Amino acid sequence: MTENSQAPRSELPQASYPSTSAPSGPVLPTRSTPASKARAGLKILVSSQQAMTVPMRGVARVAQRQFAQAAFNRQRQRVQLQEETRSVLNFSLRLAETMFRFGADSADVDAAVVAVCGTYGIHDVEVDISYQSIRINYVSEFDEAASRGDYLAPAGSGAEKFSHNLVRVIRSSAENYAALEATYRLIHRITDAQITRTRAERQLAEISTVKKPYSPAVLLVWNLLMAVAFTLGVGGSWRAALVSFFVFIAVNFSMVWAGKFGLPSFFTMALGSGVVTFFALWVGSTDSWFFQQGFVVSPPHIVAAGLMMLLPTFRLVSAMQDALHGFPLTAAGKFVVTGANFTGIIAGISTALTLINLFDYASLDVDRTVFNPPPLWLNVVGMVVGSVMVAAAWQGRGANLMLSALVSLAGQGAYYGLVFTTGAEAGRVSVLLGALTVGAAGAFLGHRLHTPAAIYYIPGMMFMLPGLTIFRSAYALLEGEDITAGLHGLANASTTVLMLATGIVFGTYLVDYLVSRFGGSASKESPEQARQAEPSPQVQRPGQ
């Protein structure tokens, strides 16, 4: 085909399709005159009719008849109803994805989807949550049957039935307490009928795109203060705390470097624990330059503080919650990832021991480095400050930090109160009581302030993590000094962590039952303040 030749163009009837071709010359304004209107009308009158390209079907074909107008209106209402249902389900799925990505547990995600859909007029929604996906299924026949008082629509009843099945896969997560708190409060405003769906969608988009409260430089400061506080809290000296400060600068930059390569969490945990262990053993060895200058530190206390920061406690507690709330697949996935991260920590310690032996440094006598615990006031202050820094490192705001400190104090009060009352050493019963107190306090604050309980009890439980026991046991096992004692110590540490998670879950269960049984959900704001904050009326589905 030559450049000047043109392909034959099929003319489309303008009765069915608008013209989309641009004019060849400049468009000049035209002025309609009575003569031109008459010629146009005459042309239409004498021209032959064009066949319709797309025939009209169904009710639309007879919509102008008197007995078809009602059916046509009813059809439009059903289409509008289905579109509105789909929009509500899509919004609920995006809300669930946001909660899951910011660290909410499966039970809260399930309850949020059902509550939000019910608020906007969609009932009997089924939610299926796995480790990385959320599925929402809805069939309209259940709502139709419920309106008649039964559960199975009889054949030929004429009830309109339609179904929707939505799936969303979540492959990334980041603990963001500020965003998670804002999401929970948005859900409460929705369920209290204070906000329309359109406005809720806009606010959810703002929550998902807003910047985090703290920059990477500020987060580094929080992590360094956390390392110092935990080192002092587990019984380390001020020299050990100073070493932890500089060691965790190296840990931070090494983990940031690993994050640029997109390494899985196993390698990130191995790298972090390896760096902490290597530098702690290097500085604390009797052959090091620091020791010869009189700068004596206890490596186990430095490593213990590091393990408290690296242990996947949040995921473990969330896995226990999912297992007890009836989400076995989600819990299994989280347990597998938690086990892999814990294995990565042990692998990092093993690699650090191998590297330090290449420099012919003196081996560590673990039994001799077990010092007496610090004064009680120093232990309490160190753990409280460390808990506050944990909440800050996970993007918690000012109120979250203060309340996390109160939860930590309450848990330590129960933990040490049992020790002083019974005169026995702190054991598993003390851990269980302290965890129950922390979980109950976090759940109460969550109900009271319309916030997730996890942002309070996760930082508040840090004082019970057995970081020193894990390092001592891993060292004894990997160095071959006493394999039986090492395995026994790791088993005891794992049991302590599991009891810690179980106590927290039981505390939240207890408070949830008491609140639902006696008080309902206590709100921080009065109804008048809530109406002034969100004056939007309740949203109803079309046709209701």
Predicted confidence (pLDDT) per residue in 208-224, tens digit: 888 888 888 999 999 99
- 10-39 mean pLDDT: 50
Distances 372 to 141, 231, 496 between C-alpha atoms, Å: 68, 14, 21
Of 138, 149, 141, 213, the residue nearest 175 (C-alpha):
213
The answer on pLDDT for 146 being more than 80 is no
Ranges assigned E (strand) in 276-342: none
* Ordered DSSP codes for 455-490: HHHHHHTGGG--HHHHHHHHHHHHTTS-HHHHHHHH
Structural tokens at position 71: 């059916």
Amino acid code (one letter) for 345: I
pLDDT value at residue 413:
93
**In the structure, what pLDDT confidence band is assigned to residue 32 with cuts at 50, 70 and 90?**
low
**Mutual angle of helices 483-514 and 428-449, in 10-degree steps:** 30
pTM of the model: 0.75
Contact 455, 301 (CB under 8 A): no
| Tokens coding 368 | 């001799």
Listed range (178-187, 204-213, 376-385, 526-535) with the worst mean pLDDT: 526-535
Which two tokens mark 196?
A: 């329309």
Q: Which helix (H) or strand (E) holds 165?
A: strand 163-169
Give the DSSP H or E segment for 219: helix 216-233
Residue 401: pLDDT band with limits 50, 70, 90: very high
pLDDT at residue 411 in the model: 94
Query: What is the mean pLDDT of the segment spanning 70-92?
Result: 72
Phi, psi of 138 (to 5 degrees): -140, 130
Tokens (6 digits) for 229:
């506080």
Other Cβ atoms closer than 10 A to 165: 12
CA–CA distance, 374 with 97 (Å, rounded to integer)? 44
Q: What is the pLDDT of residues 245-287, one digit of tens each?
A: 999 999 988 888 888 888 888 899 999 999 999 998 888 887 7
Instruction: Encode pLDDT of 440-495 as tens digits.
Output: 999 999 999 999 999 999 999 998 888 778 887 887 787 766 778 788 888 888 88
What digits encode the pLDDT tens for the residues 376-385? 899 899 999 9
Query: Would you state the structure tokens that stand for residue 189, as one six-digit string?
Result: 């405003």
pLDDT at 535: 36
Sign of CA dihedral 339, 344, 350, 352: negative
Give me the DSSP letters along 252-277.
HHHHHHHHHTT--HHHHHHHHHHHHH
